[in-house]
Amino acid sequence: MDNLSIDLSDCKSPSKSQPPVGNYKMVIKTVEKKVSKQGNDMLVLAMDVAEGPYKECFSRYPRPYFMPFHNDSCKARMAEDLQKIIDSNPGELSEEEVFSKNFDPQTLAGKKVGAKLRLKDGRDDLIIVGYLCEIDNSTVKTYYF
């Protein structure tokens, strides 16, 4: 049998491939409009860790953040989350642009925002929980969680 050699020097150790539970600066990779299992309209923001030792650790499977907008309560929460994205990206998005009749959610791709990651119930997967939070002076403001 031939000698088999595989170069894994650029791979992360499996024990370090997932960040610990906590607050992270995230980057929005993609934005899609979808319909939930209950038939409700929502935006799904696929996110990855933006910086630090776990930067892009979810590049193959970005973590989803669901923003339903089928009723006034959901729209109010969506508005809060959108404001945090605006505040986390000064000069890149404006309130006038986002809170308009012609808002294109695709403009959120590439923007940064703070989020909390925790383990999914009974599994080893990390999920985004709670509200998004603002990034201010390179710090995630954790009081929003």
Distance CA 49, CA 121 (A): 21
Pairwise CA distance, residues 138 & 77, whole Å: 24
pLDDT band at 11 (very low <50, low <70, confident <90, very high): low
User: How confident is the model over 120-137, as a mean pLDDT?
Assistant: 81
Cα–Cα distance list, 1 to 27, 79, 80 (Å): 46, 62, 62
Tell me the C-alpha distance between 116 and 94, whole Å.
Answer: 24
Q: Delimit the domains of the chain by residue range.
A: 14-144
Tell me what pLDDT residue 143 has. Answer: 43
